[in-house]
Amino acid sequence: MTSAHQTRPPAFAPMAKLSRALRIGETSSVMLTRECLRRIAAHDAVFKSFLAVYEEEALAAAALADEELRAGHDRGPLHGIPLALKDLVNIQGKPTTAGSPLLSANIAQQDAAIVRRIADAGGVIVGKTHMVQFALGAWGTNTHMDTPRNPAGRATDTLVAGGSSSGSAVAVAAHLVPWAIGSDTGGSVRVPAAYCGIVGFKPTIDALPREGVYALSESLDSVGLIASSVQDARLCFEALVGAPGSGADARRRIGVLEADELAPLAPAVARCHAQSLQRLEQAGFSLVPFRFPASLAAFKEPTNAIMIAEGAWVNDRFLDDPDAPMDPSVRSRLVAARATTAVQYLQAQATASRWQQEFAGEMDRLGLSAVAMPVTAMTAPRLEDVDHNVAPVHFTRPVNLLALCGISLPAGEDDDARPIGLQLVGRAGGDHALLGVAAEVAAALHPSRIPPQEMRNA
């Protein structure tokens, strides 16, 4: 069998370098876009990350980007750089399936707000990526539409990519596009980023607009970014929302979980996490013991009460037909959510509100700029070993329930070359500050990492 590892093309240059190259004529948006399209055509039969590729539209957008740059109309650092979208984001005239054949005829009447913002920034959308059905699942599998393949691990592995933004993560990790849009309701950007060895940024809810994005949970969804590095993620976020204001948080005090909360970690993940914290201390960070308002296990019940109930409300029209093409793990959770009472739902919302205030108060009391914690308890399993009765979101779901921002950074690998992520959690609305801390943490974790090579033909 041909392995993903043998077919992955070389990495792109950092996006800041690509942006400079576009402005001094070393490359063009059409050249970059053609290279992405070539890579997708040559390699995505293995990776299965793309649901649809918009070659004609992408090349037209790239040609326009080049024309504007030549005319002196510079839209910013994303101008002319290609990307991919998770297929729950509306593009006018294109289907938005949200990973389900039940929505194959769901043709968008207008662009999503994030698509308009990308267009205003000069980005070039090359296609849409596969995802878990209705965005309800963190392993990254999809029985009916296709399951993307993780480029990481050993050549004999076929690992899950993580979900629900599986295709977007694989498209970036496989070096098919420089960056991608995903969404995150309980870890759906951070988990696949960790499993694939790249960066996944979940901003505060509505830091990136959600209008025109197929919802799973109105209370918990965030539009997120997937990139190869913190620098790339930061460039994308600032290009889409604006540069940070003055007075950035310069504190180097980071909260860390106490030993009892790290008990679920597999041995290799526990070792990597301890080594990461040691590197942060060596780099001058102060590590402060930190506890969330409740045990991490206690976040499961209120998160599910909100997320699954709202997801069932969105997709209720599909649940009465037993023959409808729906993944069993998705159907069972949505059907079970019909039993959630109004009292349970409102109690969960009240709990979330109370914990949000307590978290903010504890961050203030301890003077923390972020909390460092694992992303997942284990590295990516093989597709055949996935247990759909559990989900790898034990360490990620609190960020959504508390309406915070969070980012997954590559921290290392286990003995089977499967990536391990480190998660940094910031305050609600503290997205710019978190990205700044993340850049310093990434430098501490990998002080001698060689920058990605410049884009070239594979």
Please tell me which residue in 19, 29, 86, 276 is annotated as part of the active site.
86
Respond yes or no: is residue 164 known to be catalytic: yes
- Residue 48 annotated among the catalytic residues of the structure: no
Active-site residue flag, 188? yes
| CB neighbour list of residue 246: distance below 8 Å, 6 or more residues apart | none
Torsion of CA 105, 106, 111, 117, to 10 degrees: -110
The DSSP secondary structure of 130-160, one letter per residue, reads --SGGG--SS---TTT-----S-S-TT--B-
Question: Of all helices (H) and strands (E), which one includes residue 412?
Answer: strand 405-413
Query: What dihedral angle (degrees, nearest 10) is formed by the CA atoms of 109, 118, 407, 206?
Result: -50
How many degrees, rounded to 5, is the angle at CA 249 between CA 248 and CA 252? 140
Which listed residue (188, 276, 329, 408) is catalytic?
188
Cβ count within 10 A of residue 52: 16
Instruction: Give the whole-angstrom CA distance, residue 421 versus residue 159.
Output: 16
- Which is nearest to 371 in space by CA: 351, 347, 399? 399
Residues 21, 79: Cα–Cα separation, whole Å? 11
- Output the 3-class SS for 187-254: CCCHHHHHHHCCEEEECCCCCCCCCCECCCCCCCCEEEEEECCHHHHHHHHHHHHCCCCCCCCCCCEE
Q: CB-side exposure of 192: number of CA atoms within 13 Å?
A: 47
Residues 19, 29, 164, 166: which is the catalytic one?
164
Helix (H, G, I), strand (E, B) or coil at 411: strand
The residues carrying an active-site annotation are 86, 164, 188
